[in-house]
Amino acid sequence: MSVANRQQTATSGSYDPASQKLLTFHDAVPAFRDGSDSPRAYLERCLEVIEAREPEVQAWVTINREGARAAADEASARYKAGKPLSPVDGMPIGIKDLFMTKDMPTEMGSPLFKGNETHADSALVYGLRMSGAVILGKTVTTELGFSHPGPTRNPFDTNRTPGGSSSGSAAAIGAGMVPATIGSQVVGSVIRPASFCGNYAIKPTLGALNRGERAGSLSQSHIGVHAGSLEDMWAVSYQIAATAGGDAGYPGLYGEETPAGSKKPTHLILLQTEGWEMLDGTTRAAFEQILEQLRRQDIQILTRADSPTIDACEVAMAESLKLARDICCWELRWTLRNLAEKDRSLMSESLQQRLAVAEDMDLAAYRIALDKRERMRTRFRALAPFADGCITLSSVGIAPAFDGSGSVGEPGITHQTGLPAFNAATSALGVPAISLPLMGISGMPVGVQLVGQTHRDQELSAIAAWMRESVKPVSL
């Protein structure tokens, strides 16, 4: 059986988090070093899977096969000489099509940018190339990274959305096409699609990874990484920070190059957020089984009922969807006005809804939103003495139908790629979050989300590693 057929068999049919095997890179490196395998051969296996699955999944906008093969050959020569550049040397990576690439168009999911050639790399792409990574192609994003979907389908059920806005990035991992991809999140665009597609993913501390040309546009924009393993997730994150740094004025990602070892927490706070009341019974029951496993291993799960400090944080986060809407719409208003003047007919209804919200706001309303966000951050920082981290869900359930039926949004906005009710708060907080593929609901993935304090990204990844080893995945 070919590599592509094996992967197709593994990802078609009912999803089981206990048996699903994602593509990884770190464990292939020893064979590169001893000459029994090579980055070029690894790339060709990825391309074989893409050829088999792309017609149904549609994760990619552009694939630069010639450029990727040249980069993989260079990486193969470095391994042969015993001089790889970094842990990601030779790793095929997909880049969300919001970020500039010198050798491929950057179309941002919008007909207004069709064929847009920048002839330059975004800082994160440049940093990955410096580290030896193989920039394979551009993955599908929703329109300008917001609510209107592209063509990408969920790799486990093509009648369902992969989530957004990092649609292609998440689906490419779930389909086993590549070991890592780049996404971004302003509200829920890394963690939610990771949940729907069964990925590992990190939304690091705000500003930890250089956003390049998008840095000044949205104050909650985070670069994130989707991957088939925690090891590859961390390696990609670290190399971006090590080469390109963080955003201007930010200290970048803290931690060591070597992935953190497993660390068992003693206390975790259950963050309900506004998503808790939106859960269906099956998803909640599966998550309760995860929490019960933790309790049986002597981990204390704290809730808002256990402490006024935790309750105050929950109260502060209670309307995070509306808060994210207001902040993002105000910050986008000039971009959206310019696009409307260029050709309003090429803007989706969802994007026009955001413009309408922005036009109804004034500077005083934006200041009120910023003040509320800062109060949220203060309340969350107050939780640090209580626990090693927080735990919640990565999405309100399984991926909804691809047509967006049944999707609701914060007032004034329609979401067609799933509701980010468990993500808006952590994006507004600017704290690190990691999604773990630990649950299967009705044959589809749902992730468990870990949340940490600012700059504690690597410590959070250590808790994630312990959970991967010690918590049995749940299927209902």
Query: Are the beta carbons of 311 and 379 closer than 8 angstroms?
Result: no
Q: Where are the alpha helices (DSSP H) in 245-344?
A: 281-296, 308-316, 320-343
CB burial string 449-462: b at 16+ within 10 A, e below: bbbbbbbbbbbbbb
Look up 189 and say whether it is catalytic: yes
Query: Are the beta carbons of 421 and 275 closer than 8 angstroms?
Result: yes
Q: Is 397 helix (H, G, I), strand (E, B) or coil?
A: coil
Q: Which of 122, 169, 189, 348 is flagged as catalytic?
A: 189
Q: In which region does residue 465 sit, left (phi positive, over 0), alpha (psi from -120 to 50) or beta (all else)?
A: alpha
- Identity of residue 260: A
Q: Is 99 helix (H, G, I), strand (E, B) or coil?
A: coil
d(CA 445, CA 434): 15
Positive or negative: CA dihedral 57, 60, 65, 71 = negative
Beta strands in 119-218 (DSSP E): 134-139, 180-185, 200-203
Beta bridge mates, 200: 227
Look up 131 and say whether it is catalytic: no
Identify whether 2 is preceded by a cis peptide bond (ω within 30 of 0).
no
Residue 69 exposed, middle or buried by CB count within 10 Å (0-12, 13-18, 19+): middle
Beta strands in 111-243 (DSSP E): 134-139, 180-185, 200-203, 222-227
d(CA 431, CA 453): 6
Q: Which of 165, 166, 169, 427 is flagged as catalytic?
A: 165
Site of tokens 């007032």: 411
Which of 17, 2, 14 lies closest to 287 in space, CA to CA? 17
Q: Which of 76, 86, 96, 166 is flagged as catalytic?
A: 96
Positive or negative: CA dihedral 44, 50, 53, 55 = negative
> What is the 8-class DSSP label of residue 121?
-
Measure the CA dihedral 331/333/339/342, to 10°.
-140
Q: Can you list the pairs that 212-215 forms with residues at least 24 positions away whose Cβ atoms lie under 8 Å?
A: 212/99, 212/100, 212/122, 212/123, 212/124, 212/125, 212/244, 213/99, 213/100, 213/122, 214/98, 214/99, 214/122, 214/184, 215/247, 215/248
404-to-326, 415, 422 alpha-carbon distances in Å: 22, 7, 18
Give catalytic residues, as residue numbers. Answer: 96, 165, 189
